[in-house]
């Protein structure tokens, strides 16, 4: 599925669409929630930093089985200064966000960190003037590192 993103309302829309799509693919409620969070965080960034673009969710198969989804947030806005920094909690693409600016800026710098924790991989791709944050999300049943990530969350580990 593919949804155009240019306005904050589109973020709520894609959250619903992602859940519905997960249901079609046979995902359980918790899996659908994870897919919806990832899709809406990528969509929210497209609105805030990317001018306009779209989010695409594609099934990932192993033989007949759907083992996850690839969630891509495409936009044509300015490039990331440093993508790895941007994926750290409390950071933007230039470094740590000054706590004094938190209340006036457009977010807490937690979206990509959450996406990274929920997904197997998150990478930046480029296609001409368009760029894409591409997240690979896998179902619980296929060796997903659920326990490892739960441990990381519980211990405050920032990986």
Helix 29-49 and helix 111-118: axis angle, to 10°?
150
> Which of 2-10, 26-34, 47-55, 61-69 is the region at the interface with ligand ATP (rule: CB under 6 A)?
47-55
C-beta of 6 vs 49, nearer to ligand ATP? 49
The answer to the question of residue 71 lying near ligand ATP (CB under 6 A) is no
Q: Which is nearer to Mg ion, 99 or 128 (CB)?
A: 99
80: partner contacted, choices ligand ATP, Mg ion, none (Cβ within 5-8 A by kind): ligand ATP
CA 10 to chain CA centroid, Å, is 15
Among 39, 109, 137, 144, binds ligand ATP (CB under 6 A): 109
68 vs 113 by CB, closer to ligand ATP: 113
Q: Choose from ligand ATP, Mg ion, none: what does 109 bind? Cβ within 5-8 Å by kind.
A: ligand ATP
Stretch that binds ligand ATP, among 17-25, 29-37, 108-116, 121-129 (CB under 6 A): 108-116
Looking at the Cβ atoms of 23 and 82, the one nearer to Mg ion is 82
């Amino acid at each position: 599925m593919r949804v155009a993103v240019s306005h904050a309302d589109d973020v709520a829309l894609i959250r619903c669409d992602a859940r519905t799509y997960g249901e079609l693919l046979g995902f359980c409620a918790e899996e659908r929630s994870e897919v919806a969070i990832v899709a809406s965080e990528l969509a929210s960034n497209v609105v805030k930093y990317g001018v306009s673009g779209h989010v695409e969710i594609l099934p990932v198969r192993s033989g007949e089985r759907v083992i996850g989804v690839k969630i891509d947030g495409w936009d044509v806005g300015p490039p990331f200064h440093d993508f790895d920094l941007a994926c750290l909690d409390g950071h933007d693409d230039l470094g740590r966000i000054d706590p004094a600016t938190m209340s006036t800026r457009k977010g807490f710098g937690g979206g990509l960190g959450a996406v990274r924790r929920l997904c197997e991989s998150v990478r930046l791709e480029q296609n001409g003037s368009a760029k894409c944050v591409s997240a690979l999300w896998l179902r619980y049943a296929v060796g997903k590192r659920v326990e490892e990530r739960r441990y990381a969350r519980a211990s405050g580990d920032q990986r």
